[in-house]
Chain A
Amino acid sequence: MPVDNMRERSAIEPVAAFSMSHPAVPALYMALTLGLTMFSMQPVLIALSLAGGLAYGFATRGAARTLSALRWQLPVILIISLVNPLFSASGSTEVFRIGMRAVYLESMVYGLCMGGLFVASVLWFEAAASMLEYDKVLALLGNAAPVLALMISMCMRLIPQFLRRGRTVLAVQDAIDVPGRAPADPVRSRLRASSVLMGWGMEDSLERADAMRSRGWGAAARRTTYARYRLGRADVAALVGLALFGAAAVAVAWAATTQYSFYPQLSVPAPWPGYIVYAAWMVLPCVLHAIDEKRFG
Chain B
Amino acid sequence: MTRLNSCSVTGGACGSDVPAIEVRGLSFTYPGAEAPVLDGLDWSVPQGAFALLVGGTGSGKSTLLSLLKPEISPTGECAGELRVLGESVAGMDVRASAERVGYVFQDPENQIVCESVWHEMAFGLENLGMPRDEIRRRVAETSYFFGLEDWLHRDTDTLSGGRKQLLSLAAVLALRPRVLLLDEPTSQLDLVAEKNFLHALFRVNRELGCTVVVATHQPRPMLEYATCAYRIEDGRVCEVADIASLGHREGLFSGEVPGWGASRRAKNGVFNSVSGQLGSLDPRAGAPGAKKGLKSDKSGEFEAQILSQDDLGVPSRAGGRRILPKMHAGSAATLSEGWFRYDRVSGWVLRGLDVTFSAGAVHAIVGGNGCGKSTMLSVLAKTAKLQRGRMVRGAASAALLPQNPKALLVAETVHDELMEWASTCGYDEAAAQEQTARLGLAGLETRHPYDLSGGQRQLLALAKLLLIGPELLLLDEPTKGLDLASRRIIAHALRDHAKAGGTVIMATHDLDFAEQVADDIAMMFDGEIACMEPPADFFADNVFYRA
B126→A227 contact, CB < 8 A: no
- Alpha-carbon gap, A230 to B47, bound state (A): 40
- Does B396 interact with chain A (Cβ within 8 Å)? yes
**What A residues does B175 contact at CB under 8 A?**
215-216
- Does B156 interact with chain A (Cβ within 8 Å)? yes
**What B residues does A203 contact at CB under 8 A?**
406, 450
The interface centre, meaning the residue of B69, B118, B161, B402 with most chain A CB atoms within 10 A of its CB, is B402
- Alpha-carbon gap, A226 to B105, bound state (A): 24
B374→A215 contact, CB < 8 A: no
- Alpha-carbon gap, A223 to B151, bound state (A): 25
| A1-43 interface code vs B (CB 8 A; 1 in, 0 out) | 1111111100100000000000000000000000000000000
Q: B258-266, B376-384, B498-506, B528-536: which lies at the A interface?
A: B376-384
- Does A95 interact with chain B (Cβ within 8 Å)? no
A-B pairs with beta carbons under 8 A, tally: 214
Question: Given A3-B157, A153-B119, does the pair A181, B424 have CB atoms closer than 8 Å?
Answer: yes
| A211-246 interface code vs B (CB 8 A; 1 in, 0 out) | 111111111111111111000000000000000000
B112→A204 contact, CB < 8 A: no
Q: How many A residues have CB within 8 A of the partner chain?
A: 62
A219→B98 contact, CB < 8 A: yes
A172→B407 contact, CB < 8 A: yes
Query: Who on chain A is nearest to B164 by CB?
Result: A3
- Alpha-carbon gap, A282 to B154, bound state (A): 33
- Alpha-carbon gap, A179 to B400, bound state (A): 15
- Does B136 interact with chain A (Cβ within 8 Å)? yes
A177→B397 contact, CB < 8 A: yes
- Does A174 interact with chain B (Cβ within 8 Å)? yes
B114→A153 contact, CB < 8 A: yes
- Does B202 interact with chain A (Cβ within 8 Å)? no
**What B residues does A134 contact at CB under 8 A?**
115
- Does A267 interact with chain B (Cβ within 8 Å)? no
Contact of A212 among B113, B349, B382, B383 (CB under 8 A): B113
Interface residues of B in 157-187 (CB under 8 A from A): 157-161, 168, 171-172, 175
| Chain A interface mostly | helix
Contact of A154 among B114, B139, B409 (CB under 8 A): B114
**What A residues does B349 contact at CB under 8 A?**
5
- Alpha-carbon gap, A216 to B71, bound state (A): 9
A223→B105 contact, CB < 8 A: no
B408→A224 contact, CB < 8 A: no
| A153-178 interface code vs B (CB 8 A; 1 in, 0 out) | 11011001100110011011011111
- Alpha-carbon gap, A228 to B66, bound state (A): 34
- Alpha-carbon gap, A214 to B103, bound state (A): 7
| B83-105 interface code vs A (CB 8 A; 1 in, 0 out) | 00000000001110111001101
**What B residues does A154 contact at CB under 8 A?**
113-115
The smallest beta-carbon distance between B483 and chain A, in angstroms, is 19
**What B residues does A292 contact at CB under 8 A?**
none
- Alpha-carbon gap, A207 to B56, bound state (A): 21
B132→A5 contact, CB < 8 A: no
B94→A171 contact, CB < 8 A: no
- Does A208 interact with chain B (Cβ within 8 Å)? yes
Q: A82-90, A115-123, A191-199: which lies at the B interface?
A: A191-199
B129→A207 contact, CB < 8 A: no
- Alpha-carbon gap, A174 to B410, bound state (A): 15
**What B residues does A263 contact at CB under 8 A?**
none
The smallest beta-carbon distance between A247 and chain B, in angstroms, is 31
- Alpha-carbon gap, A192 to B410, bound state (A): 7
A217→B94 contact, CB < 8 A: yes
**What B residues does A169 contact at CB under 8 A?**
407
Given contacts A172-B407, A216-B97, 6 further A-B contacts (CB under 8 A): A2-B375, A154-B114, A171-B378, A208-B110, A210-B72, A216-B128
